[in-house]
Amino acid sequence: MKKSYKIALGIITPLPILAIILGIVAFFVYLIPNLPTKGQVPAPDFPVHMIEGIATFYVLIIGAVIFGFLIHIAYFIHLVRTEQINKDSKTLWVVLFLIFNVLAMIVYWFLVVWPEPEKIGKAKKTRD
C-alpha cells in the first residue's frame, strides 16, 4: 500500500467517532439555549430550533454509521489481502473489529497498516 493511502486511511478512520461527538454537541447547542425557563413562555421559533438540532444530530449520526460501515469494508479487505498476519490473528482481528469497531481499527492501523512495507512492483520470476 502506498504511503499516501496509509495516511489517508489513518486520517479517515476516526472520523465516525468525531461525527458522533459533533452530532451530540450540535444537538445540545440547539437544545440548551432554546429551553424555556420556569414560568416563561417558549419563543415562537422554539420548534424550528429544536427541529434544526434534531435534524443535525440525526444527519451526523446516520452519516457516521454509513461511513463507519465503509471503513469496516476497507479494513476487512485489507485484512484478507495482507500476508503479514497469520490465520489465527486474522480471526482475532475480525472479532475485535466487530466488537470494538473503529477503536480496534485505529489500533490495527498503528500495528499493521502503518508499519507495512510498501510494494514497489511485482517481482518477476526467472528460470535458471
One pLDDT digit (tens) per residue for the chain, 128 residues: 788 888 999 999 999 999 889 888 887 887 777 666 776 766 666 677 778 778 888 888 898 899 989 999 999 999 999 888 899 999 999 999 999 988 999 999 999 999 877 765 555 555 54
- pTM for this model (two decimals): 0.74
Euclidean distance between CA atoms 96 and 89, whole angstroms? 10
- Give Cβ neighbours of residue 60 (< 8 Å, ≥ 6 apart): 19, 20, 22, 23, 26
Euclidean distance between CA atoms 79 and 86, whole angstroms? 10
